[in-house]
Amino acid sequence: MGAGIALMFRKKFNGVEELKQQKKVTGQCAVLKRHKRYVYYLITKKRFNNKPSYESLRQSLEDMKTHCTLNGVTRLSMPRIGCGLDRLHWDRVSVILEQMFKHSGISVTIYSLPERAKTHMSTGGLKYLLTEKDKLRSQDSFDKKQDTMPPPPGRSLKGSWRLNYFTGDLFSCPGDEALAHCISEDCHMGAGIALMFRKKFNGVEELKQQKKVTGQCAVLKRHKRYVYYLITKKRFNNKPSYESLRQSLEDMKTHCTLNGVTRLSMPRIGCGLDRLHWDRVSVILEQVFKHSGISVTIYSLPERAEMTVMHESHR
């Protein structure tokens, strides 16, 4: 525990010898009792300079869950475990957490620091307030939500813009919220969430007539909302780049600003069939929108529902 968040735990809770005496190994979980709380130490690797695996993380979470169940623990808070110095990917870690806790009766809250604060941690300790909380509630659907309300239309929370997360059907969002997703220049939309947009909103010819190219954004007006089509690649079977995604988001933001759009809902864009990584995409979204006055809500389906959508879309 010589760096990062582990060092902060060591300074706050001490107990290194107490932990060593428990003789836990990789895939298990050591624990300290401090006042009214348990403090869990997930053993995910043998030595500090090794890299953990997703499987060792999963095993140590299972061990922790067992202790929680036996000791009546119903609420857990943690950082984005394994995704700092250990360089695991949050999109995979969050799936493991959801699989682990969704029927456990244990709620899980994820804390993240603002990007600037992260850069100060190694030299000056914790200098900024925690501003992002992804709330994972262990209901039947194990909803992942922010536990604060999103900003009202036209405003962001001062100094604390963040993505809002919700588990559920994207098309169930309020009818006056704009929607967005990614497509190719050829407007093929033959699979995944793009196919669902095509079936719901039609307008393929209308989109083609706009003659948008990669890095731009086409748009339909449907009732009280705008529906945005981020052009991130030339053909449906190409792979988008993070830069083309950024450019199309900037183009969409310009349209939003000119047309008074203050609320956007979207899936985890680019991270389905296009195989971009959410940990990078979410950073791009924050960079594009954090000073815009536009709130962004990310919808995800429960894992089984996502698999069904993918299966149906490939028939």
Indicate which residues carry an active-site annotation: 233, 274
Q: What secondary structure, in 3-state letters, does the chain show?
A: CCCHHHHHHHHHHCCHHHHHHCCCCCCCEEEEEECCEEEEEECCCCCCCCCCCHHHHHHHHHHHHHHHHHCCCCEEEECCCCCCCCCCCHHHHHHHHHHHHCCCCCEEEEEECCHHHHHHHHHHCCCCCCCEEEEECCCCCCCEECCCCCCCCCCCCCCCCCCEEEECCHHHCCCCCEEEEEEECCCCCCCHHHHHHHHHHCCHHHHHHCCCCCCCEEEEEECCEEEEEEEEECCCCCCCCHHHHHHHHHHHHHHHHHCCCCEEEECCCCCCCCCCCHHHHHHHHHHHHCCCCCEEEEEECCHHHHHHHHHHHCC
Residues 6+ apart with CB under 8 A from 126: 8, 113, 117
Strands 164-167 and 29-34: unpaired
On whether the CB atoms of residues 250 and 228 are closer than 8 A, the answer is no
